[in-house]
């Protein structure tokens, strides 16, 4: 069952979660389909993956384009795209790809975010050392420059 919506949902998880809960309570297990799982579809994918009775899949871009060519019209609209995605899921479920995060992907993301955390800690420590040196050398200069150390131009000077 597709449930068209004429107004956008807010960019938080409350409304989509309520909608999916209502649908699964009323109709049983549900399938959430997206055409951009890592961009605009990231929030609904994350919400749906956290729910028990909801399966998540996406329609790859090339497949979407080919299916769109099989349907009448050439306008690029949200309603047309939604119809094509739903129709493809109904008639060609093998064209869909599952979205699942593996333990390996989670570990890779943890490493990447660890690099960011380390870099941020090093940057903060370097700024603190620089402010300490400025305080020792010229306290007046530190009062003027110290709060602006996050600006690249100040660091270059």
pLDDT tens for each residue of 105-128: 666 667 777 777 888 888 888 888
Burial class (CB in 10 A: 0-12, 13-18, 19+), 153: exposed
Q: Are strands 54-58 and 30-34 parallel, antiparallel or unpaired?
A: parallel
Choose between 151 and 37: higher pLDDT: 151
**Alpha-carbon distances, residue 90 vs 37, 38, 58, 71, 123 (angstroms):** 19, 23, 13, 15, 52
pLDDT of residue 25: 92
Question: With 80 as the cut, is the pLDDT of residue 131 above it?
Answer: yes
Question: With 70 as the cut, is the pLDDT of residue 6 above it?
Answer: no
Q: What is the pLDDT of residues 55-98, one digit of tens each?
A: 888 888 788 888 888 878 777 777 888 888 888 888 888 888 87
pLDDT of residue 34: 79
pLDDT of residue 90: 86
pLDDT of residue 9: 61
pLDDT of residue 103: 55
Question: With 60 as the cut, is the pLDDT of residue 42 above it?
Answer: yes
* 63 within 8 A of 88, measured Cβ to Cβ: yes
Task: Measure the CA–CA gap between 64 and 51, rounded to whole angstroms.
Answer: 26
pTM over 0.75: no
């Amino acid at each position: 069952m597709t449930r068209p919506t004429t107004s956008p949902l807010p960019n938080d998880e409350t409304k989509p979660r309520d909608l999916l809960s209502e649908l699964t309570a009323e109709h049983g297990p549900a399938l959430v389909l997206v055409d951009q799982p890592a961009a605009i579809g990231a929030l609904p994918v994350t919400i749906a993956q956290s729910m028990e009775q909801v399966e998540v899949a996406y329609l790859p871009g090339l497949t979407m384009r080919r299916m769109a060519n099989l349907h009448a019209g050439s306008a690029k609209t949200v309603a047309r795209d939604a119809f094509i995605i739903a129709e493809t899921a109904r008639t060609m479920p093998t064209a869909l790809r599952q979205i699942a995060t593996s333990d390996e992907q989670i570990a890779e993301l943890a490493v990447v975010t660890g690099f960011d955390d380390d870099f941020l800690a090093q940057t903060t420590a370097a700024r603190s050392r620089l402010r300490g040196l400025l305080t020792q050398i010229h306290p007046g200069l530190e009062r003027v420059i110290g709060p602006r150390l996050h600006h690249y131009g100040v660091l270059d000077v």
